Structure formats: C-alpha cells, structure tokens
Structure 1
Amino acid sequence: MDSVFFVFLLPVLLAILMMGLGLELRVKDFIRVFNYPKVIFIALFTQLILLTSLAFLICIVLNLPPLLAVGLMLLAASPGGPTANLFSYLYKGDLALNFTLTTLNTFITIFTLPFIVNLSLQFFLSNDEPITMPAMKMVQLFLVILVPVLLGMALRAKFPKLTITISRPMRVFAISCLIAFFVFAVIRERYNLLEYFSSIGVATVIFGFSSLFIGYCLPLLLGIPDRQARACTFEVGIHNTAVAITVAISVLGNNTIAIPAGIYTIIMYTFATLFGIFLSRQRITYQESKQRLSDL
C-alpha cells in the first residue's frame, strides 16, 4: 500500500493541488516577482547557505551519530517542493514567488545537493565515493509542479469565473489533503516514532522551527513585505522529504540516513500549520512587524 501511495496516488494528489494553485496565478504575477530580485536572493541564500550551515552546527553540537548527521545534512540540502507552495496558498503567501523559488531551487539543487552530501559523507563517514542526483526524481518533481500549474493558469485565463467558483472548495480540499498526509505519515511510522525521536527528534525539532523562524524574520528585517516573507518562510522552512528519502535509500542505499527526513515529515506538518495559524492571526502592519523584530 505504501508503494502505491508514494508512486501513484501522492503525485496525482499533488498534481491536482498544484492545478488549484495555478488557478490563483496570472502571468503578470511572475513578471512582478522578477522586478524584485532581492527577495529571491534572500530566500535562496537562506535555503542554500544559512540552513545547511545551521544543520551542520546542530550535528556538531548535539554530536549526532554519523549516519544520522549525514541524513540531516541531506535533508537541509533538499529543495522546497509542492507542499511549501500549498502552505503558502493556505496562509496567504506570494504564490508566484513560491513557484519561482521552487523552480530555481530545484534546478540549483541538482548541483548543490550532491556537493553537500559528498562533503557530509567525507566529514562524518570518511567516504570518498561521489554520488549523483537521481535525474528521474528531479524530472518528476518539475512535472508535478510545473505542468498542473500551467494548466490551472490556462483555465483561469480562459474561464476567469471558474476561479471564483472553485477557489474555496479547492482550499478546503487542500486542507483535507494536508491532514490526510500528516495522519498517513504518523500511521506509517507509528512503530518507530519513539526510537526515531530519541535519536534524532531534538535535532529535527530545532532545525524545523529555526527554518520557519529564519525564513520569515530575516526577509522582514531586510525590508521584504509580509506577503513575500510568508512565501519565503514556507519555501525555506519546508523541505522536499521525498527527494531526501529517495537519495538516502535509492542512491546511498542506507535506511538510517533516511530517518531524519521521515521524522521531519511529521514535525514539518505540525510546525508549518502552527506557524501559518500564527501568521493568519496577526493584524499588525509590515512596519509594526519590522519594528517588533528590531526590538527583540
């Protein structure tokens, strides 16, 4: 059942959700995003440099076992994915920015992920054998994101009233899918949760919370509007665990290296939901937000 879910049902569900997100977008949204390269640079710098450095620091400070340390570095090096776009959709982030960042980040990851994982293997395991990215997995990620989004945008352009009609049902469907994904992840790992949390739980909690916090606060402090900062926090704070698990099991051939990504899946849904609810309840202006952060 697990294999059927991950190989067929999950990609189909994500594709449907991505089409719903596409209904919210127009071409001019993407043009607008590229008028503000600063936010793209901040998000990519945070994702590729700050978070991988943070993950390495966590591995050293908590003295993680070598295989789990490699797993956490692999997780940190993984790109954002459809789930990040989905959370941004639910909690009023800049969707066009999210899709732009996901596309750029996924492409860059083809080169950075093997580099980071190779360094991690050499540092923690003294392994000099290089790895390569699973090309088909990256192609699948592009297809699941790009094609349904383009279809949704085309439907919006052709039938503009359709967006108004199905926007709310699609949002409800998205929330239902998130709940279903979370429940499935918990049930799937129910027998191993205590063992996994005892070995890597603290590290993934610190990494998960810090990713969301840094992803939101840093853009605000650097003058990015709140809506774009929300997009950044979900893009930076939600990693594509499917890529991390695939690399760990299929490429590195080690289930232990996949454990941090498995535990992070549960933590990710929990923290991202709570963080999104927190953001939704904020009624302060951007300038007030920036002033509060400066006062901390």
Structure 2
Amino acid sequence: MTGIDAVELQFSPSAVLALQLILAVVIFGVALELRFGDFARLLREPRLMVIGLCSQLIALPLLTFALVAVADPAPSLALGLMMTAACPGGNMSNVLTHWAGGRTSLSMAMTTLSSLVSPVTTPLTFALLGDLHPATRAAMREVAVPYTELVGTILLALVLPLVLGMTLAQRRPALAERLRRPLKRFGVFVLLLFIVLALAANQGLFRPALVAIFWLVAAHNALALVTGWSLARLLGTGASARRAITFETGIHNTALGLTLIFSYFQGLGGMALVVAWWGVWQLVTGGLLARHWAQRPLQACVDDARGAHAAAVAETAAPPQRDRS
C-alpha cells in the first residue's frame, strides 16, 4: 500500500482498550432508555421493521459498493466507507427521529435490533463488500482481518452492555432513570474528546487527503439518507415511519467502526479518518434534516392521518352491535 493507504495512526494498546470501554459505557447509557416491551408492540407491524432493516443492511451496502466503483478512491478510503455501511444504526438516530416528529419507537427498535445482529451482519457485510472490489480485496489481505476476534469485540463492546442496560431498566427503573442522563452525557463527551485528541495527534498525516475525504463522506452520507427515505416512500410507509427509517439508514454507529479499525486494522489511516469524519458529518446533516422536518409537523402526519381516517370511516360504516346482555 502507498500514500494514505500506508499511513497508520499512532495508537497504543491501552488506548484501544479505553476506546472499547468508552463505547460500552455509551451503549449501556443509551440502553437504560429501552424496555423489552417496546419491541413486543412492534411485532404487530413487522413490515416496518423489515423495510428499515432491508434499507440499512442490504440497500445501503449495495449502493456503497456502487459509489466505490464509480469514485474509485484509495483502497483504505473505500474500506472506510464499507466499514461505515456495515456498522449498525447509531444511537443519535433515535434523538434525531424524535426531534423530527418521526416514530421514535420504531427508530429505537431498529437501532437495538441492528445492534443485536451486528456480530453477524457487520463482519459479513464488510467481508463481502471488501472482497468484491479488487483493490480493497488486496488491502484486506495485507491487514489479515481476524473475523472471529472481531465478532467477539462486537459482542463485548456493543451487545453485552446493550442487554445489561435494558435488563437494569426493566428490573430497576428508578435506578436506571437516575443513571441515564449522567452516563449518556459522560460517554458521548469522552468519546468525542477521544476522537478529537486522536485525530489532532495525527493531523499532519491526513492534510493531503482531507478534501477527497470530505466529498466522499458527504456523498456517502447523502446517499444513505436518500436511500432510507426513498425505499420507505416506495414501499408506502407512513410519514412518521419514513422519517425514522431515513435516520436509521443515514446515522451509523461509527464508534464501533473506529473500535474495530484500531483493534484489527492497525489504525489504518485513510480508513480511520473516513469513519471518524462520517461520525461528525452525520450529526451535521442529520441535525439540519431534523430541524427541517420539525418545522413541518402537519406534513409528517399526512400519511398516518389518512390511515386513521380510513379506519374511522370503516368503523362508522359498520352496523351497530346489539347488546345481548
């Protein structure tokens, strides 16, 4: 590998462990807001979950490969886009969906489910995408990704704290409520600080590639948001569900991506920078989109209102039931 592909971030083993622990704290704090019963209610509408997960786990990875084929970036940059597409939904998608007047329960269910299946989907998606492109296939062979260890890291840093947090919230709701905000704020602050310090310590390595990375990430993030919205609209979901699916497809758990990169890809420079900048840029575009939709609350409910109106008309037209008691 040459150029940006050959750059490796200066990252000690203790720093890698610290990043994994920070990710676990963030996930645990978010899980305190969830209840197992929230997902039982969504079983009545499995179609919405299937649409959202297909958008996130199938449509976006395929379009990511198309973007890489057209843009033809350096292999490490391409791997960064592939890693992002392979990561599950990010927790900020729940907040943005709420701000935008979308269906927050659907967003939280999709984030949780995509996280629970990520030990299988993330390595599988990344391996398939990387192997399809000749340049990334060669780069992956050079770094020799240990997929078994990668699955273990996802289980420990993501799935385990998620299940523990939901269990505590279910059994000790008062304690979970006291811990929720402090843990969430602390985890997010420390994670952002960690990323900023890591990039600042290696800033001289990336200056030549910053412009290319900016446009690659901007195009990929826009593609993700448009994919979620378009697929949901094409398949006829309500407006509130469509907003949730848009954010679930366009907001990813880049903290997990960085953890995997620093753990198993020797801090591959271009790859790490793409995923780190994705984590920042998605908050900018997601925040702007949420603000735009928040200013159009009536439009958000048009499709759902039609369904409610149709149900009301059917109920009115039905013959009255006689009281036989």
Please indicate the TM-score interval, normalised by the length of the shorter structure. Answer: 0.7 to 0.9
Q: Tell me, yes or no, if the aligned pair for 2:34 and 2:166 is still in contact at 8 Å.
A: yes
Aligned counterpart, 1:85: 91
Unaligned runs of 5+ in 2: 1-9, 99-103, 306-325
Q: Tell me, yes or no, if the aligned pair for 1:113 and 1:133 is still in contact at 8 Å.
A: no
User: Cα offset for 1:166?
Assistant: 4.4
1:267 counterpart = 2:281: yes
Identity %: 23
Aligned counterpart, 2:75: 67
Paired positions, count: 286
Aligned counterpart, 2:45: 36
User: Cα offset for 1:100?
Assistant: 0.7
Q: Tell me, yes or no, if the aligned pair for 2:11 and 2:267 is still in contact at 8 Å.
A: no
Aligned counterpart, 1:10: 19
Aligned counterpart, 2:148: 135
User: Cα offset for 1:141?
Assistant: 1.6
Question: Within 5 A, what are the aligned runs for 1:120-199?
Answer: 120=133, 122=134, 124=135, 127=138, 134-170=147-183, 172-173=185-186, 176-177=189-190, 179-180=192-193, 183-184=196-197, 187-199=200-212
1:26 counterpart = 2:35: yes
Equivalent-residue separation in structure 1 for 2:57 and 2:238 (angstroms): 22
Deviations 1:31-84 (A, max 9, x none): 22333322232223222332233323333443x345256425523542225xx0
Give the AA of the match of 1:103: L
Equivalent-residue separation in structure 1 for 2:219 and 2:138 (angstroms): 27
1:249/1:18 Cα in 2 relative to 1: closer, same or farther (>3 Å)?
Answer: closer
User: Cα offset for 1:115?
Assistant: 1.8
Equivalent-residue separation in structure 2 for 1:38 and 1:102 (angstroms): 19
Deviations 1:189-244 (A, max 9, x none): 53345422233321211101221343245335534456654553443223444547
1:201 counterpart = 2:214: yes
| Range that drifts further, 193-202 or 183-192 | 183-192
Equivalent-residue separation in structure 2 for 1:177 and 1:277 (angstroms): 26
Equivalent-residue separation in structure 1 for 2:78 and 2:301 (angstroms): 40
Equivalent-residue separation in structure 1 for 2:35 and 2:263 (angstroms): 38
The structure whose Rg is larger is 2
User: Cα offset for 1:7?
Assistant: 1.9
1:282/1:149 Cα in 2 relative to 1: closer, same or farther (>3 Å)?
Answer: farther
Unaligned runs of 5+ in 1: 292-296
User: Cα offset for 1:185?
Assistant: 5.8
Q: Tell me, yes or no, if the aligned pair for 2:76 and 2:271 is still in contact at 8 Å.
A: yes
SS in 2 for 1:44: helix
User: Cα offset for 1:168?
Assistant: 4.4
Aligned counterpart, 2:58: 49
User: Cα offset for 1:170?
Assistant: 4.7
| Range that drifts further, 252-261 or 32-41 | 252-261
SS in 2 for 1:284: helix
Structure with more contact order per residue of length (Cα contacts < 8 Å, sep ≥ 6): 2
RMSD across aligned C-alpha pairs, in angstroms? 3.9
Q: Tell me, yes or no, if the aligned pair for 1:86 and 1:174 is still in contact at 8 Å.
A: no
Question: Within 5 A, what are the aligned runs for 1:225-264?
Answer: 228-241=241-254, 242-243=256-257, 246=260, 250=264, 255-264=269-278
Aligned counterpart, 2:129: 116
SS in 1 for 2:34: coil
Q: Tell me, yes or no, if the aligned pair for 2:261 and 2:268 is still in contact at 8 Å.
A: no
1:196/1:276 Cα in 2 relative to 1: closer, same or farther (>3 Å)?
Answer: farther
Give the AA of the match of 1:147: L
1:286 counterpart = 2:292: no
User: Cα offset for 1:117?
Assistant: 0.8
